[in-house]
Structure 1
Amino acid sequence: MTHQTARQRSVASLFIFGLASAAALGAKPAAAADVNIYTSRQPDLIQPVLDAFTEKTGLSTATIFIDKGLEERIKAEGANSPADLIMTVDIGRLDAAKQAGVVQPVDSPVLDANIPEKFRDRADEWFALTTRARVVYASRERVDADAITYAELADPKWKGRLCTRSGQHQYNIALIAAYIAHYGEEAAREWVTGLRDNLARRPEGGDRDQAKAIYAGECDIALGNTYYVGKMATDELEPEQKEWAAAIRVVMPTFDNGRTHVNVSGVSLAKNAPHRENAVRLMEFLSGDTAQKIYAELNYEYPVEPGIETSDLVKSFGELDPDTLPLDEIARHRQKASEIVDEVDFDAGPQD
């Protein structure tokens, strides 16, 4: 089988959209590619590893980007779904696919060997591929602190100085859920209230926008994921993002155990995967040396496979000591975290 070109990938992606529509109507789809992927990750972030897989195996891949309603779509397609794999970010999204019953377990000695147990579902229904830390972006000009705890972010000394994206975004919900797991619901409610009172403005935008706000002097600290800093610092298409990255430094906040909250990107095998063998082969490839190195060097993420080094840029952020809290424990508290965000009216911004 020949190597898949960019044009072939594009055609396959368009073709699979049509197949998915047919499946939703009950039609029997044909194969669009050797592995069909539904993903909530931006396709450009995963295409390099998919290209490497095709180059090594000759198997083609096709992707559909689905930001919202991924589980509902697969459910609607039923047994005729063309989806082989689900690739997504956030433990909540992985757990949601599991709870929706749209994935199936995978028994693979390769996955077990490459991915530490703490980054695998106990029932083998999802597997983490990378981790990212939820950290503080701090102004190089206006913030001297080298160490900040998560609890300290609610300290009044930061009043009017904090920026963040929506409290209901999955990255913030996971962090609040972790805070609940560590300290309980009432402590988390007080903490989120303190964060709200320290906001410089209403929550808006994405993590890159928080760095931009610090650069513009609108706030001094922000919550953001580590890999966005790497993406901004090396962005040749929008070079102004390099200035945003240069205006901040990464501070690894900690819980009382001295560890930093991490979230994951991951993969699951779709319940009715029409190309199961090929899909498992891709899952195993994604957990191995080649893909893990690509994730580290091009996406500025932390590999889950032990022994794979992070990029030099990520190393410059400082030592990451990831929290040992089980990921499924975080997922268990997501609903309460979302309720707290609404209860304190976090997304309305500062209250006075």
Structure 2
Amino acid sequence: MKLQKLARPALLAIALAAGFGGAQAEDKVLNLYSARHYQTDEALYANFTKATGIRINRIDSDDAGVLTRLKNEGSASPADVVLLVDAARLVKAEQDGLFAPVKSQLLESRIPATLRGADSGKGSAWFGFSTRARVVVYNKLSVKKQDVDTYAELGEAKNKGRVCTRSGAHPYNLSLFGSMLERMGPEKTEAWLKGMVDNMARAPKGGDTDQIKAVASGECQVALTNSYYLARLMRSDKPEDRAVVEKVGVVFPDQQGEGTHVNVAGGAVAAHAKNRDAAVKFLEYLAGDEAQAYFANGNNEWPAVRSLKPGNPALEALGDFKQESVPIAAIGANQAKVQQMLDRVGYK
């Protein structure tokens, strides 16, 4: 059963009462709050129900909406499992006590330590199930690859008037900037952000796909994007999308240094889960081979289980790359400091 996204708290209360009230009285049910909105996830959930007999009730929102809902509901929340699509939000929810730690040998053996929450002794608060890289795209006619093959170069004078990005305060950028703060320290990171502001071809706006298209059109020459936005265009049958792909090159930054920044989509057991056993079983299911394929390919991401190959032609075309080793928890902890830097340098 899927409950539609609701914008207003009053409507939410009605939906919760109608959608989850009866479900809690049943033995085999899982109440899921999800920020994932990908068509292939429907098969993912259906296969879980078929394998376990556990029915899934789902409410969709974005990351911020899910977390606000959990906070407002408190201990009365019917949520059993939470799925989010950004590491910083996962870490913040962990810090806010919205998740319950899980001790699972299966999850710990399948999900790398760098892609899960810190182990409190009672287990990790969350687990990453797919990854995406924060890459650089550039106009192949006007930019040399070697001028944009590190994040730092986006703030250097040679790229003045070339750069475009979405809002600096968007979680995808905040996570990258939090990683750079961990790598470079506060002084160099703030100088880098100021350099990026000085290099903007236009004020930050739009989403990552808009940045790729702006590079292809010549509105700017270089931009940041999550890898799956480019992979979507690569797999598209639309002539206009194919034309965009032909005009842009892609770089996995810092391959000779600390590696490319990687973000995660992940899940957790809600702090007040009423169906904890089913919730843990669902997280373990997401770490399985079949679910990893659905979870990753539904949004053109890499599986968190590194021994698996996604069989995705766009990801295969992008090739292998060196990932950064900065812990996700450290990236999340840097968010407040990064936001202060953005305010000081005028990064909108």
Letter matched to residue 131 of structure 1: T
Q: Which residue of 1 aligns with 2:292?
A: 292
Counterpart in the other structure of 2:89 = 93
Contact 1:19/1:82 (<8 A) preserved: no
Match of residue 331 from structure 2: 330
1:84 corresponds to = 80
Quote the residue 2:169 is aligned against: 168
Count of paired positions: 335
Distance 2:107 2:68 in 1: 27
Q: Do the aligned partners of residues 14 and 151 (structure 1) sit closer, same or farther apart at CA in structure 2, a change above 3 Å counting?
A: closer
**What is residue 36 of structure 1 aligned with on the other side?**
31
* Other-structure match for 1:105: 101
Residues 121-170 of structure 1: per-residue CA shift (max 9 Å, x gap):
12310111111111101223322315611111111111111111000001
Tell me what 2:321 maps to.
320
Q: Which moved more, 1:208-217 or 1:244-253?
A: 244-253
Using a 3 Å threshold, how does the CA distance of structure 1 residues 333 and 19 change in structure 2: closer, same or farther? same
Q: TM-score, normalised by structure 2?
A: 0.88
Contact 2:260 2:323 in 1 (8 A): yes
Q: In 2, distance between residues paired with 1:72 and 1:218? A: 36
Q: 1:204 to 1:19 in 2, by over 3 A?
A: closer
Mapping for residues 43-62 of structure 1, pairs under 5 Å: 43-44=38-39, 46-62=41-57
CA deviations over 1:233-285 (Å, ceiling 9, x no partner): 2235x663333333322201117734111111110100111222211111111
| Match of residue 246 from structure 1 | 246
What is aligned with 2:272? 272
Cα distance between partner residues in 1 of 2:105 and 2:239: 44
Cα separation, 1, equivalents of 2:32 and 2:85: 14
Greater displacement, 77-86 / 157-166: 77-86
2:58 paired residue number: 63
SS of 1:44 mapped into structure 2: coil
Relative to structure 1, the CA distance from residue 312 to residue 235 in structure 2 (aligned partners, 3 Å threshold; closer, same or farther) is: closer
SS of structure 2 residue aligned to 1:38: strand
Residue-by-residue CA offset, 1:282-307 (whole Å, 9 max, x unaligned)? 11111110111223433211111131
Deviation at 1:43, TM superposition (A): 4.6
Contact 1:24 1:76 in 2 (8 A): no
One-letter identity of the residue aligned with 1:91:
A
The CA RMSD measured in Å over matched residues stands at 2.6
Give 1:350's aligned residue.
Answer: none
Secondary structure of 1:268's aligned partner:
strand
Deviation track 1:63-96 (CA, whole Å, cap 9, x = no partner) reads 2222224323212222321211110012111011
Residues 186-207 of structure 1: per-residue CA shift (max 9 Å, x gap): 1011000111111110100110
Shift of 1:38: 1.2
- Is residue 114–residue 305 contact of structure 1 (8 Å, CA) maintained in 2? yes
Q: 1:115 is matched by which residue type in structure 2?
A: I
1:126 maps to: 126
Cross-structure match for 1:234: 235
Residue 71 of structure 2 is matched in structure 1 by 75
Q: How many angstroms apart in 1 are the aligned matches of 2:59 and 2:244?
A: 31
Segment drifting more, 44-53 vs 195-204: 44-53
Question: How many Å apart are 1:97 and its aligned residue?
Answer: 1.1
> TM-score, normalised on structure 1?
0.87
Q: Which amino acid aligns with 2:271?
A: K
Query: Offset of 1:23 from its aligned partner?
Result: 8.9
